């Protein structure tokens, strides 16, 4: 099992205790498992049913096999006390994603950014954040930044990353 992101581990304590957290594009669910073990009920959402199958029966985790990039937004009208996203970017839905965050809710987002092609995939600019992009998007959505980082990282492997922890007040 792959360990949770250090960014998620560092900022998870800011999530409202005992309230539902969305792990968007969760893959095999490393963050869903970590959050559920910490007492947060988790909605683990991904389009990969096989990956979600590995989360069945784990206390505190509900799974949803969803097309996150389709014409209709499958999470419309829902609200979450926390949203965790790692290693995923679909720009057309970023405003919809941020709208899911309830008042007092915390966003923990970390993914690849421009320059990552030098270290491997993803290398397509459509899936790489531009410098300062998460900071600008969350500010425009009315979120208050708690922590922000961007640039080169060597762990868990060399990459260009961008990360934010922000709260909707």
Global pTM value:
0.97
- Is the model's pLDDT at 1 over the cut of 80? no
- Is the model's pLDDT at 53 over the cut of 80? yes
Return the pLDDT at 11: 98
Return the pLDDT at 94: 96
- Please give the Cα distance from 75 to 97 (Å, whole number): 8
* Residue 144 DSSP SS3: strand
User: Using alpha carbons only, how large is the chain's radius of gyration in Å?
Assistant: 15
Q: How far is residue 55 from each of residues 27, 28, 32, 68, 124, measured CA to CA in Å? A: 10, 7, 8, 19, 30
- Residue 2: pLDDT band (50, 70, 90) is confident
Return the pLDDT at 139: 97
Q: Which residues pair with 21 in a beta bridge?
A: 42, 82
Q: Which residues pair with 149 in a beta bridge?
A: 163
Residue 138, H or E segment: helix 133-140
- Is the model's pLDDT at 97 over the cut of 80? yes
Return the pLDDT at 50: 96
- Please give the Cα distance from 137 to 99 (Å, whole number): 12
Return the pLDDT at 66: 97
Q: 98 is written with which tokens?
A: 């941020």
Q: Does residue 66 contact residue 51 with C-beta atoms inside 8 Å?
A: no
% of the chain beyond a pLDDT of 90: 98
Peptide bond connecting 102 to the previous residue in cis, omega within 30 degrees of 0: no
Q: For the chain, give the mean pLDDT.
A: 97
pLDDT tens for 108-140 read 999 999 999 999 999 999 999 999 999 999 999
């Amino acid at each position: 099992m792959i360990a949770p992101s250090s960014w998620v581990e560092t900022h998870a304590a800011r999530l409202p205790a005992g309230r539902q957290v969305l792990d968007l594009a969760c893959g095999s669910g490393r963050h869903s498992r970590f959050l559920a073990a910490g007492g947060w009920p988790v909605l683990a959402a991904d389009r990969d049913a096989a990956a979600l199958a590995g989360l069945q029966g784990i206390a505190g985790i509900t799974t949803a096999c969803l097309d996150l990039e389709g014409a209709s937004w499958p999470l419309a009208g829902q609200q979450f006390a926390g949203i965790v996203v790692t290693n995923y970017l679909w720009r057309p839905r970023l405003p919809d994603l941020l709208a899911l965050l309830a008042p007092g809710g915390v966003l923990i987002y970390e993914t690849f950014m421009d320059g990552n092609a030098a270290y491997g995939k993803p290398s397509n600019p459509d899936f790489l954040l531009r410098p300062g992009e998460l900071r600008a998007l969350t500010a425009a959505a009315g979120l208050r930044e708690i922590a922000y980082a961007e640039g080169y990282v060597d762990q868990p492997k060399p990459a260009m990353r961008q990360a934010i922890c922000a709260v909707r007040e």
